[in-house]
C-alpha cells in the first residue's frame, strides 16, 4: 500500500482507475474545501463533478472547510465462492483510493473510500474514532450524482414504505410530468418529491452507455433514494427519515453504506455485474451446510388469486383482540390452510420433486387483523383448530418434504421481536428450516418507515437470529436488498418489489420482468413467485376482473431470467395438472448455478440468459419480452465443444399473445451442439424456456 501525504490543498485532483483502465474516478476539494468527485468510462465523463458530504443535526456539518490530510492507494484481487448464486466463482478485483480529510474549524476527521472496478465504482464515508466527533445525528446526506445529459431512465417513485410499482421508462426531464400517473393505488403516501425515485436506478445515455445507481451493504443506516434536480440533471441523495425526521444516528468509528455506480457499454454488462456483492463483507456463518436453495409450492395463490381467506372464520359472536374463543365458532369453509388441503399440497410436492410447501393462514389472529385492528399482535405459535402442526409436519417429513413457515408481522415490529425466539424455537421443534416473513401495513411504532435505519436494523436482526437457529429467511415488504446475502447467505430471498401477486390485482406491465433484473435484482434475489398457468383470473375467482399479462411460455422463462435460489411454483396444483407437459420445465429447472451467461438484453424490451446447473453439465435458457415481443438468433456457443445435448424448447405458439392467446405454446425436442444456432420468437408479453441436457 502506497501512501501520499498532502496538506492544505483544495485544488488537487486525485485519480484512481479500474484494473483494466476503462473506469476512473477523480477526487477534488473545490472552493471552500468541498469534497467533489467525477467518474469517467472509456475516456467519457459519465458522472460530472458532484459534491459529497453530510449535513448534521448539530452545528458544523461535514460539507466544506476540509483540507486533504493524506491519501492511501491499494489493489485487491481475490476469487470467492458464494454459498449459492448465479456463478460458482466471483472475482473481486479493484483499485482503491482512501482520501483522509480534516475539517480545519472543528478538527473533525472524515475519510472517503473509493473502490474502482472494471464494471463500476463504490464509495462510502468513514469516520475514524476521534474526540471531536463521537455521537452524531445525520440530518441529510448530500451525496450527488450529476448526470451528463437527459438520459433515459427506468424508475419507480420515491417512497419510504413500498417498492410495489410498475416501472416507468422516460427521459429524466419527463419524470416530474409522469410522476402522478406512475403512482399506483398502493402508494404509501410517503412520497417525498415529484422528482424522487428509488434505487436501483437504471439509466442509458444517448450514446449507448448504461449506468446503474444503487447502494451496497446497507447496515445501521437508512435506505437511500434519489431526488432529481431536473434543471441540471443532478440526483441528490434523499435518505429515509425516522419518526423525528432524522436520517441516521451514528457513533464513531463507523461508516455509511457504499454508494455505487455501475457502468457498461451494453446492457448485458449491467446484468452480469457482481459489484454490489463484492462490496459486502465475506460470509459470517461458519457452517453453511444447512443453507440450501429451495423450490416450493404453497397455500397462497388460492387466497391471492382465488379470493379465499387467510382466517379460520369471520363469523365471530364476539371479539376481544387476542382472546378469540374458537370453540364458539364454526370454520367459514374458505380457509385453505386446513389439514386436508395442506396434505394435498404435500402429496403434490412429493410427487413432483419440490422441496417445501408454504402454508399461509395457519396461525390465529387473521380475522382480528383484517376485520378490526392492524395493531393486533400475532403470536406466531398458535395454529388454527383445522391446522395440526405436528401431524402435518410429520406427514411432510415422511414424504421427504418440509413445510415452510409463514410469519406475517402486520408491521407490529416490537411484537415480532418479543416473540421471535419462541417462534424460531417452534420452527426448530417441528423441523421448519425456512420462513417467509411479511411487513404489511404502517410500521408500529408509528412514525417509523419500512426503509428507515430502525427497520433496517430490525431486518438484519431477524436474519442474524435466524442463523443461530439454522433458519433461512425470505422477507416480504422489507427494505430492498443491497448484497447482504453474501455476508448472511441464510437471507435466501426477498420480495421488496411488485411481484406476481399484482397479476391478480389488475396486472403488471408485460415489460415489468424485463426491467426488474436491471433494478430490483441488482441487490439480491427476489421471491417473484412465477409459474401462473391460468391467465384469466375470472376463471379462478368469478369476482376478479384481472388478467395475468404474460404467456404461459414466459412464465416458464421467469425461472431462469428472474434469478433466485428460492423459486415457487405459485399456481394451484389443478392448473399444473392441465398442462403437465409444460410443467415439466418447472420440475426440471435448477435453482443454483455454476455459470450464467447474459446473451442479449435491453431494459423494457427483452432479456435472454443461459445458466448452467450446479454440479452438472446441464443448461437452462430463458427469454422474457415486453409488449413488442422479440426475435432471437441464439448461438449455443456456451456449450462444450464436441459434445451433444438433448434440447427441449418450450416456446410461444405462432399465434400466442399475452392478452388474446396466452396459453398457446409449443414443445419441440432436438439434438444440439455448440455449433447450433436457434431462431426463436417471443410473442408480445411472451418468451421461451429451453432445457439442454448432456447426452449420456
Reported as a single tens digit per residue, the pLDDT across 47-98 is: 999 999 999 998 889 999 999 999 999 999 999 999 999 999 999 999 999 9
Q: How confident is the model at residue 327 (pLDDT cuts 50, 70, 90)?
A: low
221 and 80 part of one domain: yes
- As a whole number of Å, the CA-based R_g of the chain is 26
Determine what percent of the chain is predicted with pLDDT higher than 70. 93
Provide the CB-side half-sphere exposure for 692 (13 A, CA).
26
Q: What is the CATH number of the domain that holds 56?
A: 2.70.98.10
Domain boundary among 462, 496, 530: 496
254 and 349 part of one domain: no
Cβ neighbors of 415 (< 8 A, separation 6 or more) are 377, 378, 409, 444
Measure the CA–CA gap between 157 and 184, rounded to whole angstroms.
Answer: 10
Cβ neighbors of 542 (< 8 A, separation 6 or more) are none
| Cβ atoms of residues 490 and 473 within 8 Å | yes
186 and 330 part of one domain: no
Active site residue 126: no
C-alpha cell at 544: 376478479
Angle at 653 between CA 652 and CA 657, to 5 degrees: 70
Q: What is the CATH number of the domain that holds 370?
A: 3.20.20.70
Q: How confident is the model at residue 2 (pLDDT cuts 50, 70, 90)?
A: very low
pLDDT given for residue 321 in this prediction:
46
Determine what percent of the chain is predicted with pLDDT higher than 90. 89
239 and 309 part of one domain: no
Mean pLDDT over all residues of the chain? 94
Q: pLDDT tens digits for 301-312? A: 999 999 999 988
Exposed (0-12), middle (13-18) or buried (19+): which is 58, by Cβ within 10 Å? exposed
Q: Please give the average per-residue pLDDT across 182-204, as a whole number.
A: 84
Domain boundary among 472, 496, 520: 496
214 and 363 part of one domain: no
181 and 266 part of one domain: yes
Q: pLDDT tens digits for 463-489? A: 999 999 999 999 999 999 999 999 999
In angstroms, the Cα distances linking 518 to 40, 269, 493, 635 are 21, 10, 17, 23
Q: Please give the average per-residue pLDDT across 284-293, as a whole number.
A: 98
C-alpha cell at 690: 429451453
Element (H, E) at 3: strand 2-4
268 and 407 part of one domain: no
Q: Which of 86, 477, 501, 534 does the annotation list as catalytic?
A: 501
The total number of structural domains in the chain stands at 2
93 and 194 part of one domain: yes
Q: pLDDT tens digits for 124-159? A: 999 999 999 999 999 999 999 999 999 999 999 999
Question: Would you say residue 553 has pLDDT above 80?
Answer: yes
Question: Would you say residue 5 has pLDDT above 60?
Answer: no
Measure the CA–CA gap between 663 and 551, rounded to whole angstroms.
Answer: 6
21 and 136 part of one domain: yes
pLDDT given for residue 140 in this prediction:
97
Question: Would you say residue 7 has pLDDT above 70?
Answer: no
Q: In 3D, which of 547, 549, 589, 552 has the Cα closest to residue 568?
A: 589
Q: How many helices (H) and strands (E) does the chain have?
A: 13, 37
Measure the CA–CA gap between 202 and 89, rounded to whole angstroms.
Answer: 26
Domain boundary among 234, 252, 278: 278
Looking at the whole model, is its pTM more than 0.85? yes
Element (H, E) at 430: helix 413-430
Q: Please give the average per-residue pLDDT across 391-417, as a whole number.
A: 96
Q: pLDDT tens digits for 494-536? A: 999 999 999 999 999 999 999 999 999 999 999 999 999 999 9
Look up the domain containing 97 and give its range.
2-278
Residue 47 belongs to a domain? yes
| Cβ atoms of residues 500 and 528 within 8 Å | yes
Residue 179 belongs to a domain? yes
Q: How confident is the model at residue 365 (pLDDT cuts 50, 70, 90)?
A: confident
Cβ neighbors of 398 (< 8 A, separation 6 or more) are none
Q: Would you give the end-to-end CA distance of the chain in angstroms?
A: 52
| Cβ atoms of residues 123 and 257 within 8 Å | no
Amino acid at each position: 500500500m502506497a501512501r501520499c501525504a498532502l496538506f492544505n490543498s483544495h485544488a488537487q485532483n486525485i485519480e484512481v482507475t479500474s484494473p483494466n483502465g476503462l473506469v476512473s474516478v477523480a477526487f477534488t476539494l473545490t472552493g471552500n474545501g468541498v469534497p467533489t468527485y467525477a467518474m469517467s468510462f472509456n475516456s467519457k465523463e459519465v458522472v460530472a463533478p458532484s459534491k459529497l458530504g453530510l449535513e448534521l443535526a448539530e452545528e458544523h456539518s461535514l460539507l466544506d472547510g476540509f483540507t486533504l490530510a493524506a491519501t492511501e492507494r491499494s489493489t485487491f484481487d481475490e476469487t470467492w465462492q458464494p454459498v449459492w448464486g448465479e456463478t460458482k466463482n466471483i472475482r473481486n478485483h479493484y483499485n482503491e483510493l482512501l482520501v483522509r480529510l480534516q475539517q480545519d474549524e472543528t478538527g473533525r476527521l472524515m475519510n472517503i473510500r473509493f473502490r474502482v472496478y472494471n464494471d463500476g465504482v463504490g464509495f462510502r464515508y468513514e469516520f475514524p474514532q476521534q474526540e471531536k466527533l463521537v455521537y452524531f445525528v445525520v440530518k441529510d446526506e448530500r451525496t450527488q450524482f450529476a448526470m451528463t445529459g437527459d438520459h433515459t431512465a427506468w424508475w419507480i417513485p420515491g417512497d419510504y414504505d413500498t417498492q410495489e410499482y410498475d416501472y416507468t421508462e422516460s427521459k429524466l426531464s419527463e419524470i416530474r410530468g409522469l410522476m402522478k400517473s406512475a403512482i399506483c393505488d398502493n402508494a404509501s403516501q410517503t412520497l417525498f418529491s415529484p422528482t424522487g425515485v428509488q434505487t436501483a436506478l437504471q439509466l442509458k445515455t444517448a450514446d449507448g452507455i448504461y449506468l446503474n445507481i444503487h447502494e451496497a451493504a446497507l447496515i445501521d443506516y437508512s435506505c437511500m433514494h434519489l431526488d432529481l434536480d431536473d434543471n441540471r440533471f443532478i440526483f441528490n441523495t434523499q435518505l429515509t427519515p425516522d419518526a423525528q425526521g432524522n436520517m441516521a444516528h451514528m457513533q464513531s468509528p463507523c461508516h455509511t453504506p457504499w454508494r455505487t455506480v455501475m457502468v457498461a457499454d451494453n446492457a448485458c454488462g449491467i446484468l452480469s455485474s457482481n459489484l454490489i456483492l463484492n462490496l459486502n463483507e465475506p460470509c459470517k456463518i461458519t457452517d453453511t451446510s444447512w443453507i440450501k436453495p429451495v423450490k416450493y409450492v404453497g397455500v397462497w395463490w388460492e387466497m391471492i388469486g382465488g379470493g379465499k381467506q387467510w382466517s379460520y372464520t369471520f363469523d365471530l359472536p364476539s371479539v376481544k383482540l387476542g382472546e378469540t374463543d374458537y370453540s364458539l365458532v364454526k370454520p367459514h369453509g374458505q380457509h385453505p390452510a386446513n389439514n386436508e388441503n395442506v396434505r394435498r399440497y404435500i402429496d403434490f410436492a412429493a410427487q413432483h420433486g419440490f422441496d417445501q410447501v408454504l402454508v399461509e393462514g395457519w396461525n390465529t389472529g387473521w380475522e382480528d387483523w383484517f376485520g378490526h385492528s392492524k395493531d393486533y399482535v400475532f403470536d406466531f405459535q398458535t395454529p388454527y383448530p383445522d391446522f395440526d402442526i405436528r401431524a402435518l409436519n410429520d406427514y411432510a417429513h415422511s414424504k421427504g418434504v418440509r413445510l415452510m413457515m409463514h410469519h406475517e408481522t402486520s408491521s407490529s415490529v416490537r411484537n415480532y421481536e418479543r416473540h421471535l425466539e419462541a417462534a424460531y424455537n417452534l420452527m426448530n421443534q417441528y423441523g421448519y428450516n425456512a420462513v417467509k416473513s411479511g411487513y404489511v401495513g404502517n410500521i408500529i411504532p408509528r412514525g417509523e418507515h419500512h426503509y428507515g435505519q430502525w427497520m433496517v436494523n430490525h431486518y438484519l436482526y431477524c436474519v442474524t437470529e435466524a442463523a443461530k437457529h439454522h433458519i433461512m429467511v425470505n422477507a416480504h415488504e422489507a427494505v430492498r436488498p443491497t448484497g447482504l446475502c453474501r455476508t448472511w447467505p441464510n437471507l435466501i430471498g426477498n420480495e421488496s418489489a411488485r411481484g406476481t401477486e399484482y397479476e391478480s390485482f389488475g396486472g403488471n406491465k408485460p415489460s415489468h420482468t424485463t426491467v426488474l433484473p436491471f433494478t430490483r435484482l441488482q441487490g439480491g434475489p427476489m421471491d417473484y413467485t412465477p409459474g401462473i398457468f391460468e391467465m384469466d383470473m375470472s376463471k379462478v375467482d368469478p369476482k376478479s376482473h384481472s388478467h395475468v399479462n404474460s404467456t404461459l411460455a414466459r412464465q416458464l422463462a421467469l425461472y431462469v431470467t428472474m434469478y433466485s435460489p428460492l423459486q415457487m411454483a405459485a399456481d394451484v396444483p389443478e392448473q399444473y395438472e392441465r398442462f403437465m407437459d409444460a410443467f415439466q420445465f418447472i420440475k426440471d429447472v435448477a435453482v443454483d448455478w455454476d455459470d450464467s451467461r447474459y446473451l442479449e438484453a435491453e431494459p423494457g424490451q427483452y432479456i435472454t440468459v443461459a445458466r448452467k446447473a450446479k454440479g452438472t453439465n446441464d443448461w437452462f435458457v430463458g427469454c422474457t419480452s415486453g409488449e413488442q415481443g422479440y426475435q432471437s438468433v441464439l448461438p449455443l456457443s456456451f456449450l462444450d465443444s464436441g459434445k451433444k445435448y438433448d434440447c427441449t424448447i418450450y416456446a410461444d405458439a405462432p399465434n400466442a399473445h399475452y392478452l388474446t392467446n396466452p396459453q398457446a405454446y409449443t414443445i419441440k425436442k432436438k439434438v444440439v451442439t455448440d455449433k447450433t444456432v436457434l431462431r426463436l420468437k417471443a410473442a408480445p408479453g411472451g418468451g421461451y424456456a429451453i432445457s439442454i441436457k448432456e447426452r449420456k
